[in-house]
Structure 1
């Protein structure tokens, strides 16, 4: 048993509210007529869009095997069944036959009445005698939810016994009245059918084209109708990418129309337009030039249509004639924006308008005219972004701004774009955007971006390099931002807290810096990180906290050499000389070949006027590293303490041989020599 679709309370209340709003022209009964088959994914959206607008819903089902019928009934539809006979007009007329309204609205299941339309569409239901028909704008949506193109179709008409559909496919309404276009942006139908490209292509291949070809086999159709059918075959072939087949059918449509002396029709105009697009795709310049010349002569209505000027401009672009191309591209732009220039029911392909603007930008770019490139690019960005949100469109606009050096604008577009694309294009844009952040000194944003698309643990070293370079350049506020961004991404990174603490100390943000050190200590995961925190505490004179860091290390590793050295240093600073000496003597016993403890112990002894003992310690260290210039310097100082200038000079001479450019050694040597002479 099929599961019945549930409708929640909020939705039911919303419907009830709609039904209580007084309807315009309430004396005119309004019927929705539909033909459907297996539309369970779409029909609820369609029917919800007319709740509170129409008074009657007529659904003719042509063989559904899913829940389409049950869903339709939930919305109060009167459902009739009709065995499909490969004739759309007959099915449409079956729906009309069962409608009792004064006016009829036609919708397909993959369409919906726009929210804007619901408030005012009934304003057109005027009480009158005779026939009346309205053409309504159809906005065809792409997979990104943007308008792919627009066209006008007769979808609303007076329900009279003389109004009916004809045509097995691409059915046409026959009426005694001239169709009236409902202009403006407030009334339109949204068509979602092109979002599923595979399903759309399958319908064209298995249903539409065979039905059209079947019509051509009849003996009783004239050239005018053959021309019309061939146009639709050609358009269908083009939609599924069969360029050569499309070219043949469109050419036949034009020739058949010319035979009856009427090539200045809408569908012939679009036959020419489609032929031009095919010749461009096939890179056939000569054929493109010929068809443009023919169209100008045979179908003058095209001269007021923007697509014609775009394709004519393409000739100049293909020939490298920038001036001619720009002239025609600007005519395209002007024609697009002057809707009075062409018939209202002409199909509107907004992509062509975008390409015209983009081509103007690229042409000025080739001419090295930055001022005009930027002028038209700004216009392109304002008109395209938000209206035609194709990722490829945004990417082209971003690329141009980047090439012009307009980095801030390029960054803004790239930030919106990067989540919309994938694969190699995303990787390239990621690299570009990261580099632009770096060039624009937006290093924190670069970190954040990398963290979105890479494992932070794998790329964090590059972030620390950036921060270190900023510190080297004295750019401490920016370095602080980078460390803050690292902390956002990796909140347990002790190293980042240490880095930010240093950057804040330089900026005299002492309290914030100390708070960072507390966090650095609590997040320190190993002895090296604890030691780094302890060293920084020593530098800022926080000896108690520093001692805690090193004692934490000694709990797990009591013989840790560096930690003991720092404990001894802290003892010395706190005046605990005997404690410091004990620690250092123990280290010398444990690590007799490491001279750091010798040096530190010798310095303590020397600073406490114990020159003989310090000389003894320094000599032991010198035996381990005889070419250590610092040990020789320390021995010189110890002998000076004993007023033994000759030995001091001897040690200094040895040290200078090792480090001949050491100014400290040279200056001390000169001072001793001068004092000796005096």
Structure 2
């Protein structure tokens, strides 16, 4: 008797497939694999697990491949997985209990996507386990779904504690973009005939991964106005809109959208973190700190499984803590700084890092403006990373030891050359040290890479004035006026500067 079939579609998955099949040992009575054209050792790996392997000619349609695999399953129940997914060991007993039922059930499982690069694991729930029925069909060329078919056949949809670990997004940013580019073409083709809120939601998310923010914004705005969209998905898209508006310096609009998002889904740590960043830009430091305390509290609840939602983002605690330290630093709140430093001590202690004491001592000394000793100065290069760079920038900004400050900034710059804020502060420190030419070269190059940062422009103009480079100043003012015409405060400051400098620029 075949009780449970595992259904899969694969192509060139030799690096992932073995661990996936290992995870269903003892629970899957049948493994059905539709191969869409592998030319590596995928088939060999599948054969080692006695899988039933079928070839399927790829037609740019994931649902077609999924439905082909379903048609080959003979089990009473079907579990579908991708090769880069693993069934949690703790879920096996629950699955055994569920598949003893004769009812037409579809079981929602938690799919947890690991993302080590950003320290933001996200989870979503989908029906992944269901009683077999030849009329069940997936729909959608990409990000395919079976839930609509399940509902049409009057299945009872049931929540569960079953967890599936997804590793497909635990890759570099470039690899994520490559996968998003592939999906984009299929989504756009699907959108021609299916303009559902689900497809527009996926288009917005895909364009966001590709950093094509105008397109992401367009599809997000379409999707949130669709009444069929679930509120958790709507809140997620409102957060995306707020994020894009913040990047475009439309801070008031960003705050309106993040407030609406939190009205819909107030316990999401990521939305509270974003609300804090927006409040910080509005100089509401009390509000920024409050949102961060909500974020870390809800993050703890989410990790403990106390918050149930169809979309969740579990943050790295330290991302929240670093933001808290920056807010306390900006507001000169000693008690607040100590609160977040204590949180950092707990976080470091839980991970048993060897450099923990030295790291915390270094932060404390920079905060209290005490000169670092040689050991701490040498350790600085090993301690900084992309996650704590902004905190160290703020700590170093007002550091009174100019020679050491320049050395620390040089170390930061060597490790984080693509960080615009690092380039800016290092350029200013070079200028303060009398190295104007080097500062101009650095800030000019930074502006070429980050034309949406108005801060660079004003630093550059002040340095170019010292060198009487009026032609370059005139060109820079013209370019900046075009780039920042949508930011009233920057536009006004540029106009005032242009008027004041007009006698010199006319030479």
TM-score class, shorter-chain normalisation, is: 0.5 to 0.7
Q: Give 1:43 deviation, angstroms.
A: 1.4
CA distance in 2, matches of 1:277, 1:396: 31
Check if 1:112 corresponds to 2:94: no
CA distance in 2, matches of 1:372, 1:131: 54
Flag the 1:272–1:370 CA change in 2: closer, same or farther, 3 A: same
Q: What per-residue deviation string (whole Å, max 9, x for no partner) do you get for residues 451-507 of structure 1?
A: xxxxxxxxxxxxxxxxxxxxxxxxxxxxxxxxxxxxxxxxxxxxxxxxxxxxxxxxx
Deviates more, 1:174-183 or 1:137-146: 137-146
Check if 1:236 corresponds to 2:206: yes
Q: What per-residue deviation string (whole Å, max 9, x for no partner) do you get for residues 635-664 of structure 1?
A: xxxxxxxxxxxxxxxxxxxxxxxxxxxxxx
Check if 1:199 corresponds to 2:199: no
Give matches, 1:271-286, under 5 Å: 271-286=237-252
CA distance in 2, matches of 1:250, 1:395: 45
Q: Give 1:417 deviation, angstroms.
A: 9.3
CA distance in 2, matches of 1:303, 1:377: 25
**TM value normalised by structure 1:** 0.49
User: Any conservation in 2 of the 1:143–1:196 contact (CA below 8 Å)?
Assistant: no
CA distance in 2, matches of 1:386, 1:396: 15
Q: Provide structure 2 residue ranges, at least 5 long, that are not aligned to the other structure.
A: 397-507
CA distance in 2, matches of 1:146, 1:335: 16
Q: Give 1:78 deviation, angstroms.
A: 0.6
User: Any conservation in 2 of the 1:59–1:78 contact (CA below 8 Å)?
Assistant: yes
Higher relative contact order (CA 8 A, sep 6+): 2
Flag the 1:192–1:308 CA change in 2: closer, same or farther, 3 A: closer
Flag the 1:338–1:418 CA change in 2: closer, same or farther, 3 A: same
Give matches, 1:94-133, under 5 Å: 94-118=68-92, 120-133=93-106
**TM value normalised by structure 2:** 0.64
User: Any conservation in 1 of the 2:140–2:190 contact (CA below 8 Å)?
Assistant: no
Check if 1:253 corresponds to 2:242: no
Check if 1:366 corresponds to 2:330: yes
Give matches, 1:265-304, under 5 Å: 265-295=231-261, 300-304=263-267
CA distance in 2, matches of 1:364, 1:100: 61
CA distance in 2, matches of 1:241, 1:145: 15
Q: What per-residue deviation string (whole Å, max 9, x for no partner) do you get for residues 76-111 of structure 1?
A: 111011111222122112112111222222111122
How much is the aligned-residue C-alpha RMSD, in angstroms?
Answer: 3.9
Flag the 1:328–1:121 CA change in 2: closer, same or farther, 3 A: same
Check if 1:214 corresponds to 2:180: no
Give matches, 1:447-486, under 5 Å: none
Check if 1:309 corresponds to 2:300: no
Match of 2:65 among 91, 94, 104: 91
Give the equivalent residue in structure 1 for 2:382: 418
Flag the 1:241–1:134 CA change in 2: closer, same or farther, 3 A: same
Q: Give 1:303 deviation, angstroms.
A: 3.0
User: Any conservation in 2 of the 1:370–1:404 contact (CA below 8 Å)?
Assistant: no
Flag the 1:144–1:288 CA change in 2: closer, same or farther, 3 A: closer
CA distance in 2, matches of 1:114, 1:268: 29
Give the equivalent residue in structure 2 for 1:651: none
User: Any conservation in 2 of the 1:326–1:360 contact (CA below 8 Å)?
Assistant: yes
What is the number of equivalent residue pairs in this alignment?
378
Give the equivalent residue in structure 2 for 1:355: 319
CA distance in 2, matches of 1:217, 1:192: 27
CA distance in 2, matches of 1:394, 1:169: 48
Give matches, 1:299-448, under 5 Å: 300-339=263-302, 343-351=308-316, 354-383=318-347, 400-404=363-367, 418=382
Deviates more, 1:276-285 or 1:90-99: 276-285
User: Any conservation in 2 of the 1:34–1:95 contact (CA below 8 Å)?
Assistant: yes
Q: What per-residue deviation string (whole Å, max 9, x for no partner) do you get for residues 103-130 of structure 1?
A: 2221111222234445x34344342233
Q: Provide structure 1 residue ranges, at least 5 long, that are not aligned to the other structure.
A: 1-26, 433-678
Q: Give 1:338 deviation, angstroms.
A: 4.0
Give the equivalent residue in structure 2 for 1:76: 50
Flag the 1:399–1:355 CA change in 2: closer, same or farther, 3 A: farther
User: Any conservation in 2 of the 1:32–1:54 contact (CA below 8 Å)?
Assistant: yes
Q: Which has the larger radius of gyration?
A: 1
Flag the 1:385–1:159 CA change in 2: closer, same or farther, 3 A: farther
Q: What per-residue deviation string (whole Å, max 9, x for no partner) do you get for residues 225-251 of structure 1?
A: 1x3211111101111222222112212
Give the equivalent residue in structure 1 for 2:454: none
Match of 2:157 among 179, 191, 199: 179
Q: Secondary structure at the match of 2:134?
A: coil
Q: Give 1:181 deviation, angstroms.
A: 3.1
Give the equivalent residue in structure 2 for 1:39: 13
Q: Give 1:317 deviation, angstroms.
A: 0.6
User: Any conservation in 2 of the 1:121–1:187 contact (CA below 8 Å)?
Assistant: no
Q: Secondary structure at the match of 1:179?
A: strand
Flag the 1:129–1:269 CA change in 2: closer, same or farther, 3 A: same
CA distance in 1, matches of 2:97, 2:379: 45
Give the equivalent residue in structure 2 for 1:164: 137
Q: Secondary structure at the match of 2:121?
A: strand
CA distance in 2, matches of 1:318, 1:237: 25
CA distance in 1, matches of 2:64, 2:39: 21
User: Any conservation in 1 of the 2:112–2:123 contact (CA below 8 Å)?
Assistant: yes
Flag the 1:125–1:347 CA change in 2: closer, same or farther, 3 A: same
User: Any conservation in 1 of the 2:299–2:314 contact (CA below 8 Å)?
Assistant: no
User: Any conservation in 2 of the 1:152–1:345 contact (CA below 8 Å)?
Assistant: yes
Give matches, 1:493-512, under 5 Å: none
User: Any conservation in 2 of the 1:152–1:347 contact (CA below 8 Å)?
Assistant: no
Flag the 1:309–1:96 CA change in 2: closer, same or farther, 3 A: same
Q: What per-residue deviation string (whole Å, max 9, x for no partner) do you get for residues 138-179 of structure 1?
A: 232335696633333322222233433222211112313353
CA distance in 1, matches of 2:265, 2:321: 20
Match of 1:54 among 9, 14, 28: 28
